[in-house]
Amino acid sequence: MPRQPVELAVRCPGANSGSESRQRGSDNDEKSRFAFSPSSLRRYEKWAFLLLAPARCLVRVRFRTISNAKTRKIWIMSEKNGFMKALKCRECGREYPLTATHVCEFDFGPLEVAYDYERIQRTLTRESILSRPKSMWRYRELLPVAGEPTVGCQVGYTPLVKADRLAKRLGIRELWIKNDAVNYPTLSFKDRVVSVALSRSVELGFKTVACASTGNLANSVAANAAAAGLDAYVFIPSDLEQGKVVNSLVYGANVVGIKGHYDEVNRLCAEIAGKYGWAFVNVNMRPYYAEGSKSMGFEIQEQLDWQVPDHTVVCMASGSLLTKIHKSYQEFTKLGIVPDKKWHIHGAQATGCSPITTSIG
């Protein structure tokens, strides 16, 4: 048996596919195979094996020899997936590989990233967070990338501003405003989600990234793609204001005007993503993209001296930001980074464009 590292891949192509697994030996010993029975495990007890994959998750690991004969600990480390476990359907709970996909094949429910919180708890603490650079990536264990981020490393950690005069005007004791209008590089909170989506796209091997947008997202994709050396395509309604179009063009993105409203543009992008194999941040990369919004919630809790605010008011377009800030509060509480307490989150929309509040009211 060779002593150099050996790789294992466990692969399940889809939630409705039959299970398939394969094992591969090292480059110098392509015929090496491991049969996972108690007897075979005893034969290779000097090796550290990873057996953490959920039934429908793609995992690739590298084995290492261990020298402590007394304990023979089995160290668990996923080189491909980081602290992620799978993509999981929000409706039925089925799990999928961590690839560029966004919808469940069974009930068309949205897919979300599932994390290994037990492993995260070992490394993500207040102390470890404070030791890291001041960007959204100081919470990287709870963001969906396997390794170090490659796009938007300076994004986030925007100011939380105390607004005493506005608090007095509103008749409340204490008020803070999160100012993401100074985010990097395009002065929008969209830089958070795009940074995550593009970093994950690079990990998955994409060279071309794209989006459907009416403004801020287009600018962020164009700017971050330019910085990362990726080809970018931005699909917009053809009647979009020229000022928004120019902001994307200056970064060298391919801007494509589509005759139709945003929903029609988005549907077209779903077809293009499947045909050309591009990474659309808000289509096939959406499970990773959406997780970037959590970073705002993580920052708020840290900037309030590791407390969840009693009430949080979140501006809404689709409502995704609200749900992800809610998730960020849950995750920090679950990991013991902030104390457990009661809190409330409220959504707000401008009266001129308020489909969510109108439908609820």
Amino acid code (one letter) for 123? T
Mean predicted lDDT score pLDDT of the chain:
82
Distance between CA atoms of 151 and 188, rounded to whole angstroms? 16
Cβ proximity of 332 and 173 under 8 Å: no
Cβ proximity of 185 and 223 under 8 Å: yes
The token pair at 278 is 């591009």
The token pair at 5 is 């590292």
pLDDT at 64 over 80: no
What is the CATH architecture assignment of 190-290? 3-Layer(aba) Sandwich (3.40)
Report helix angle 216-228 to 190-203, nearest 10. Answer: 40
**This prediction's pTM:** 0.77
Query: Residue 79 — very low, low, confident or very high, per pLDDT cuts 50/70/90?
Result: low
Query: Residue 243 — very low, low, confident or very high, per pLDDT cuts 50/70/90?
Result: confident
Percent pLDDT > 70 in the chain is 78
The yes-or-no answer to whether 124-186+291-360 and 190-290 have a common fold is yes
Write out pLDDT tens, residues 169-198: 999 999 999 999 999 999 999 999 999 999
In a 3-state reduction of DSSP, which class is residue 139? helix
C-alpha distance from residue 221 to each of 171, 178, 212, 310 (Å):
40, 22, 10, 34
pLDDT at 33 over 80: no
Percent pLDDT > 90 in the chain is 67
Q: What is the DSSP letter of 345?
A: E
Domain ranges of the chain: 7-81, 124-186+291-360, 190-290
User: Which among 288, 309, 298 is positioned nearest to 112, based on CA atoms?
Assistant: 288
Cβ proximity of 288 and 198 under 8 Å: no
Average confidence (pLDDT) over 74-97: 80
Distance between CA atoms of 197 and 144, rounded to whole angstroms? 9
Average confidence (pLDDT) over 76-94: 83
The secondary structure of 274-314 as a DSSP string is HHH--EETTTTTHHHHHHTTHHHHHHHHHHTTS---SEEEE
Amino acid code (one letter) for 86? A
Distance between CA atoms of 215 and 254, rounded to whole angstroms? 14
Write out pLDDT tens, residues 268-302: 998 998 889 899 999 999 999 999 999 999 999 99
pLDDT at 358: 87
User: Which among 241, 249, 243, 191 is positioned nearest to 220, based on CA atoms?
Assistant: 191
Write out pLDDT tens, residues 304-338: 999 999 999 999 988 899 999 999 999 999 999 99
How would you class 107 by CB atoms within 10 Å of its CB: exposed for 0-12, middle for 13-18, buried for 19 or more? exposed
Distance between CA atoms of 190 and 151, rounded to whole angstroms? 13
Average confidence (pLDDT) over 219-243: 94
- The verdict on domain 124-186+291-360 having CATH code 3.90.580.10 is no
Average confidence (pLDDT) over 142-169: 97
Report helix angle 320-334 to 294-303, nearest 10. Answer: 50
